[in-house]
Structure 1
Amino acid sequence: MLLMSSPALALTRDDGDDPAPKLEVIETLGLFVAAPLVLFLVITGLVMVLDKSKKA
């Protein structure tokens, strides 16, 4: 049964298939490396500044 299926159907695009334009290397690094790092640092900074516990 598996041998009868046609893999050629994967080459035709569906109506809803709309691939996005490719990202440049800088855009990829910014989106997947720099943005999460900046967000982590902002959240960490806010937690440290707004910390209400007593310092030792």
Structure 2
Amino acid sequence: MDKKNALRAGTLAAGTTLMMLLMSSPALALIPDDGDDPGSGLSVIDTLGLYVVAPIVLFAVIAGLVMVLDKSTDRQPKSKQG
């Protein structure tokens, strides 16, 4: 791809992204809708536990189950002989 086409593609991508951002409606988070019933907020400890600790623990449990339940007996790589 030559320099002119790369510049054109980059300009098009940037322009499209900018137009999408400008034309999107605001979230209007400060104005509650009818029927909104927000709960109480999470504390810092709750947030860290939910979004940091829980995924790490879940990953560790799945990895541990895979390692424990692995049925293959050949753990060493085969060496090439002669």
Q: TM-score, normalised by structure 2?
A: 0.51
1:3-48 deviations in whole A, cap 9, x for unaligned? xxxx8xx454222322221110000000000000000000000000
Aligned to 2:53: 34
Letter in 1 for 2:68: V
Q: Which runs of 5+ in 1 are unaligned?
A: 1-6
Aligned to 1:50: 69
Q: CA-atom RMSD, angstroms?
A: 1.8
Aligned length: 48
**Bigger Rg, structure 1 or 2:** 2
Letter in 1 for 2:70: D
Q: What is the identity percentage for the equivalent residue pairs of Structure 1 and Structure 2?
A: 67
Aligned to 1:25: 44
Q: Which runs of 5+ in 2 are unaligned?
A: 1-25, 77-82
Structure 1 residue ranges (4+ consecutive) displaced by more than 3 angstroms after TM superposition? none
Letter in 2 for 1:19: P
State the secondary structure of the residue aligned to 2:42: coil
